[in-house]
Structure 1
Amino acid sequence: MRTLWDVLLRRRDYRLVLGAGLVSLTGDWILKVGLAFHVYTLTGSTLASGGLLLASFGPLVVLGSVAGVFADRWDRRRTMIVTNVLHAVVLLPLLGVHDEGTLWLIYLVVLVQSCLQQFFRPAEQSLIPALVDPGQLVTANALNSQISDVARLVGAALGGGLAALGGLPLLAAADAATYVLATGLLLAVRHRSERKPIDRTGGVARKLRADWVEGLRICVAGPAMRLVFVFGLVTGVGEGAMSTLFAPFVSTELGGDGTQYGLILSSQAVGGIVGGLVAAAVGSRLRATWMWGVGAVLFGLVDLVLFLSPLVSDSLVPAFVCMVVVGVPGAFLVAGSMTVIQRLTDDTSRGRVFGALFAAEGVALLAGIFASGVLGDVVGIIPVLVFQGLGFLVGGLVVLGRRRTLVAAGADDVSPPLVRQPA
């Protein structure tokens, strides 16, 4: 608990970055929920609503690993500031959406914002280790992952209401205001990182391509990073299945309605907030590899209980309980794995690695979405969702079984990581 308060009270720059993330993520959820509501109201088409998902995920797959190269080349604080400003500007076209004929503007805004996010995420994750002491890194990552649940709980509640109250203009104004406020917080950050200029010998494009390839190579260069990479692929497929089939699971297998489905998702956010606080409070006293492995095992077990519960009872109570309880191992999983990645890489390559990992997980997520859409009708909803739970369970057991390899690579200590690449 002492480390938690040290990070929050004594690490001013980290506190500002954390606050900026909370504000902008809340705006993202306001817009995300509100846009989905508005598009469906405007068109009455679930296909049109699904197009928002495609516009959001596409840049992650195509641009994610490339954007990570620039996160290593540019000042990360400045990158975050510029992308926030651009986010606010890009929202302006939403003011011109009045009917189905201008619906394409919504997809364009979502697409461009997703592109900007690919530059922001690796810059943020790469900046955090520079803002706290090495022994505080697990706590910082736990807090950073927790704010997404807080933002989802607040933003999702506001998004639908703002859409009904003022339509797209109010949604755009609210989201833009969060980006302006987040930019102000980031401008107050004092940390500056000296980034080396690109070596123009042989051409800038060739050097950037070499950096991009190098980032991909680092992800599979050693057994420790390969474990991180494969774990992300397997669990990404499972998360794609979860995002596709959880609503049908609640409706078909549990007999719940739309209101109950929304409440179950809200309970997951509550569990994530509680779990994030627990992980932040005790994380500094635990090994990151242990948090990752045990968190994944328990996360998978809770999911298996949830998905198999209809075989015993058609009550909705297990769903609510499991979605709250899973927040604790989920927070341990995220904080532990993020800390491991940060310790396995150094400052000159961290952005490229995060970009490549995010892109790979995006591919896996899309694969899970498409596969579960087909297999859900062929083998049933429960068997496919069981795969998601097993993916985390088996993945966590493999992590625990390979802890010596991870520790040897520097994942559990605060010494300089072994994976070092020239700038």
Structure 2
Amino acid sequence: MATRDTHNLRSVLAVRGFRRLLGVRLSSQLADGLFQAALAGSVLFNPDRQTSAMAIAAGSALLVTPYSLIGPFVGVFLDRWSRRQLVVFTNLLRAALVLPAAALINGGGKGVAFVVVAFAIIGLNRFLLAGLSAAVPHVVEDRRLVTANSLSGTLGSICFSAGLGIAVLLINVLVSAGDSGYAVMALVAPIGYVASALLAWRSFRVDELGPDHVTAPKRAPMHSAIGDVVRGMGDGLAHLASKRGAAYTMAAKAGFRALFGVLTLAMLLLYRNYFVTDDDVHDSITGLAFVVVAGTLGVMVAALVTPPVTRRIGGWRWVAGLIAGIAIALPLTVSSFTQPLLVVAVFCVNIAAQGTKIVVDTSIQHECDDDYRGRVFAVNDTTYNLSYVLGLFAAALTLPADGHSPTAVFIVAAGFALIAGWYAVVAGRWARRVGDDIAQPDPVPTPVG
């Protein structure tokens, strides 16, 4: 098993197109880590202002919800226009938008303009990642998709975490934890965005990343264009409805993300108001640095174990087992509300989150036709974000100001148990019915003669 896993990894890395696509993603996600750290720090860990739980949830909703609602329609363009061109221009646009965003952060980060610019940068990031995921099958053969998704998702998370780590280093060494410091931090991000755009432009032909039938956008009346988008979205949803293996996995991931949103807000409140009793935000930032490290290690573990495990037991069994494991681990690690055990809990949750994500991405790539893949990934992105925001609001309405709530821990654990049980039943029944899963053995040669 270990030999075959090593062979799969070497085979994926041997593909020049995959290495270059990976470079496009990593440089972009490193910049994302820096920018989002500056954005979050200016709001959450800023001695110049105090932020409530509801304000955190509302701010996240303002940044995520608008794109999530239009995301499925944007996905139509991932299946119509050159994904290489979209990657290039999306990165360049984000680099340009960071400049006014930094100026607004320096000015206090308030008002409609700040929300609109921040929303545009984060929304374009989700659009970019959906396009990159849809492009992977164009550089990697189908039976290596689990390994490719595991590697790209894991290294992407590591680079994002590295961006967060660079931000922590900047706060502790070079800049202050205030509006001006976070503005300077944001201005570093365009370097990564431009590098990602240049790498995509130099590495791939216009049609190399799909879709299979790239057509130039035609000038058409507005009502006709909108009608085409709506029909395309309907076709994408109809296609997903016929691919229940992918649909069930996406639904389980959405439920996971809602509960993850509750845990995320609880953790932020604990580090802001429970573990730290004064206004020294540096202690909060240092504590969260250990959380980021634990989460990154969890992502790495998931990347190492998910490919071999899914090949042996199948994707649906692995997802059900991961979610059930979190239902057991949470009461054991979080209910004591100590920082070391909370770090352990973050490690475990991130193993489950990344392992599930790998299976979701691979299921979509494996089951859905390329002509619909962009739309399905956009739908997945929408459910992913809206579920998270729903969890944030649920937590904001129910958690105390310091995030300390043993009752919430047990309710969330019960939610994970329910999701695991439901998913095991429906996904297992479907996999047995169609006789297909992302677990694929190496192809057996067909005898000749």
Alignment TM-score, normalising by the size of structure 1: 0.84
Aligned to 1:292: 319
Aligned to 1:189: 204
Q: Is the 8 A contact 1:90 1:113 kept in 2?
A: yes
**Separation (CA, whole Å) in 2 of partners of 1:386 and 1:214:** 40
**Separation (CA, whole Å) in 1 of partners of 2:435 and 2:134:** 19
CA drift at 1:305: 2.6
Aligned to 2:262: 241
Q: 1:122 to 1:149 in 2, by over 3 A?
A: closer
CA drift at 1:80: 1.2
| Aligned counterparts, 1:259-270, within 5 A | 259-270=286-297
CA drift at 1:84: 0.9
CA drift at 1:400: 3.2
Q: 1:100 to 1:134 in 2, by over 3 A?
A: closer
**Separation (CA, whole Å) in 1 of partners of 2:8 and 2:77:** 32
| Aligned counterparts, 1:136-175, within 5 A | 136-162=144-170, 165=175, 167=181, 170-175=184-189
Aligned to 2:190: 176
Match of 1:224 among 245, 260, 266: 245
CA drift at 1:140: 0.8
Tell me the amino acid that sits aligned with residue 362 of structure 1: N
Identify which range, 129-138 or 404-413, moves more after superposition: 404-413
Tell me the amino acid that sits aligned with residue 33 of structure 2: W
| Aligned counterparts, 1:71-82, within 5 A | 71-82=78-89
State the SS of the aligned residue for 1:203: helix
**Separation (CA, whole Å) in 1 of partners of 2:412 and 2:228:** 39
Alignment TM-score, normalising by the size of structure 2: 0.79
Q: Which runs of 5+ in 2 are unaligned?
A: 1-5, 278-282, 442-449
Aligned to 1:203: 224
1:153-211 CA distance string (max 9 Å, x none): 31112124446537356434421110111112212135342435479799232121111
State the SS of the aligned residue for 2:369: coil
State the SS of the aligned residue for 2:371: coil
CA drift at 1:376: 2.2
CA drift at 1:347: 0.4
| Aligned counterparts, 1:379-394, within 5 A | 381-394=405-418
**Separation (CA, whole Å) in 2 of partners of 1:21 and 1:393:** 34
**Residue 213 in 1 paired to residue 234 in 2?**
yes
Q: Is the 8 A contact 1:288 1:339 kept in 2?
A: no
1:326-367 CA distance string (max 9 Å, x none): 444443322122211222211011111111122123222222
**Residue 274 in 1 paired to residue 301 in 2?**
yes
**Residue 5 in 1 paired to residue 13 in 2?**
no
**Separation (CA, whole Å) in 1 of partners of 2:397 and 2:181:** 35
Q: Is the 8 A contact 1:81 1:183 kept in 2?
A: yes
Aligned to 2:51: 46
Q: Is the 8 A contact 1:299 1:330 kept in 2?
A: no
**Separation (CA, whole Å) in 1 of partners of 2:326 and 2:81:** 36
Aligned to 2:124: 116
Q: Is the 8 A contact 2:29 2:159 kept in 1?
A: yes
1:263-317 CA distance string (max 9 Å, x none): 2343222222233234356665563333333233324333343233x1xxx6433
**Separation (CA, whole Å) in 2 of partners of 1:93 and 1:252:** 31
Q: Which runs of 5+ in 1 are unaligned?
A: 416-423
**Residue 36 in 1 paired to residue 59 in 2?**
no
**Separation (CA, whole Å) in 2 of partners of 1:120 and 1:370:** 26
Q: 1:294 to 1:3 in 2, by over 3 A?
A: same
**Separation (CA, whole Å) in 1 of partners of 2:25 and 2:142:** 21
**Residue 338 in 1 paired to residue 361 in 2?**
yes
CA drift at 1:138: 0.4
Identify which range, 354-363 or 177-186, moves more after superposition: 354-363
Tell me the amino acid that sits aligned with residue 63 of structure 1: I
**Separation (CA, whole Å) in 1 of partners of 2:169 and 2:114:** 19
Aligned to 1:92: 99
Q: Identical aligned pairs, as a percentage?
A: 20
State the SS of the aligned residue for 2:370: coil
Q: How many residues align?
A: 410
Q: 1:232 to 1:127 in 2, by over 3 A?
A: same
Q: 1:286 to 1:182 in 2, by over 3 A?
A: farther
Q: Is the 8 A contact 1:152 1:269 kept in 2?
A: no
**Separation (CA, whole Å) in 2 of partners of 1:68 and 1:124:** 12
**Separation (CA, whole Å) in 1 of partners of 2:185 and 2:85:** 26
Provide the alpha-carbon RMSD of the alignment.
3.4
Identify which range, 44-53 or 67-76, moves more after superposition: 44-53
**Residue 83 in 1 paired to residue 108 in 2?**
no
Aligned to 1:403: 428
Tell me the amino acid that sits aligned with residue 36 of structure 1: A
